[in-house]
């Protein structure tokens, strides 16, 4: 759901990947897909700024966001207001994560699910996996918004509650919902205040950090084919591959990553050899931070790590049923 809350430069090495290319099919549009397309387009095409509040059982975090579109494309600055200083500066499809205390810049490909955008893949079949309902109007960030609820039709994924600006179709509030054992809000991100259009101050895109001489980390990435290498990874119903790459961190370490998505929810699967660079890793039957679960197990001479904003049982299914069958040479 939230790229910046999922990673926040997570471990400085596993955050160097993104994916793009949300697929739309006009011929199979439904009220659900039409609404989602409007929300995604508003997030990418409008000028807006405001303070965001992200809350989960791990705590509350505030962020300042400004997004401007001009003749050169999309510009965005996201500043974390609590804890360690972090800023994300985006120009079109490249995002720079600033880590001031280490004077490091992590450069990554921009993801399509950075709030208030939140789609992660093909949305044309979402009606098969989510029940869609329109609720009453509400008031969020000083603006009127229309409530929509997407409830999962199975146990593979979570539900979502959205509040979309009535006039501009900008997403103002998003909640992730668990249905078991009862409906519970796992996390929420919402504008505490928001300006749209001409009221946005373009100067707010400028950062106060002088980072031109900071160290830049940008992993080299190549497309890969895990199945051809011998990996047999079962996809949960409704999830499809949107990214399959190998990242080269420094010159010695290689980490393969597979990103699965149903259009809203996404799962990242990391595979790396058991070697001196992965000594820090250990098996994990299931840990949780906010609404993000993580599961890790050893398969032969590899570590497999699965993480995502999905129920832990979904990650267990992936990990427990994945096999590695070495390809004959």
End-to-end CA distance of the chain: 41
Confidence of residue 277 (pLDDT cuts 50, 70, 90): confident
Kindly report the average pLDDT of the chain as a whole number.
Answer: 88
Which DSSP category does 16 fall into?
Answer: S
Separation between Cα atoms, residue 268 and residue 263, nearest integer Å: 14
Please write the tens of the pLDDT for every residue from 123-161: 889 999 999 999 999 999 999 999 999 999 999 999 999
pLDDT of residue 25 exceeding 70: no
**Among 118, 127, 129, which residue's Cα sits nearest to residue 39?**
118
In the prediction, which pLDDT does 134 show? 96
Is 220-324 CATH 3.30.200.100? yes
**Among 328, 277, 326, 264, which residue's Cα sits nearest to residue 303?**
277
Q: What is the pTM of this model?
A: 0.86
In the prediction, which pLDDT does 12 show? 35
In the prediction, which pLDDT does 250 show? 64
pLDDT of residue 14 exceeding 80: no
Region 86-102 average pLDDT? 94
Region 51-69 average pLDDT? 93
DSSP 281-296: ---EEEEEETTEEEEE
């Amino acid at each position: 759901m939230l790229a910046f809350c999922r990673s926040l430069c997570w471990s400085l090495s596993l955050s160097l990947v993104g994916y793009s290319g949300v697929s739309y099919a006009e011929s199979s549009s439904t009220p659900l897909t039409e609404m989602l397309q409007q929300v995604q387009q508003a997030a990418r095409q409008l000028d807006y700024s405001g303070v965001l509040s992200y809350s989960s059982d791990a705590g509350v975090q505030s962020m300042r966001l400004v997004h401007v579109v001009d003749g050169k494309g999309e510009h965005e600055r996201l500043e974390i207001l609590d804890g360690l200083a972090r800023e994300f500066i985006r120009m079109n499809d490249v995002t720079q994560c600033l880590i001031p205390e280490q004077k490091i810049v992590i450069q990554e490909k921009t993801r399509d699910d950075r709030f208030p955008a939140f789609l992660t893949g093909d949305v044309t079949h979402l009606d098969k996996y989510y029940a869609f309902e329109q609720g009453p109007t509400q008031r969020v960030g000083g603006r009127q918004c229309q409530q929509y609820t997407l409830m999962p039709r199975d146990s593979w994924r979570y539900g979502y509650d959205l509040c979309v600006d009535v006039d501009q179709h900008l997403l103002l509030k998003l909640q992730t919902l668990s249905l078991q054992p009862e409906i519970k809000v796992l996390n929420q991100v919402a504008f505490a205040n928001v300006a749209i259009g001409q009221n946005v101050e373009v100067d707010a895109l400028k950062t106060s950090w002088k980072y031109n001489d900071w160290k830049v980390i940008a992993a080299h990435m190549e497309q890969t084919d895990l199945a051809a290498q011998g990996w047999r990874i079962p996809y949960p119903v409704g999830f499809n591959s949107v990214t399959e790459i190998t990242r080269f961190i420094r010159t010695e370490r290689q980490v393969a990553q597979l990103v699965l998505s149903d259009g809203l929810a996404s799962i990242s699967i990391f595979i790396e050899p058991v070697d001196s660079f992965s000594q820090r890793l250990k098996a994990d039957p299931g840990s949780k931070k906010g609404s993000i679960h993580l599961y890790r197990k050893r398969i032969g001479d590899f570590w497999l790590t699965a993480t995502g904003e999905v129920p832990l049982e979904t990650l267990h299914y992936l990990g427990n049923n994945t096999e590695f069958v070495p390809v004959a040479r």
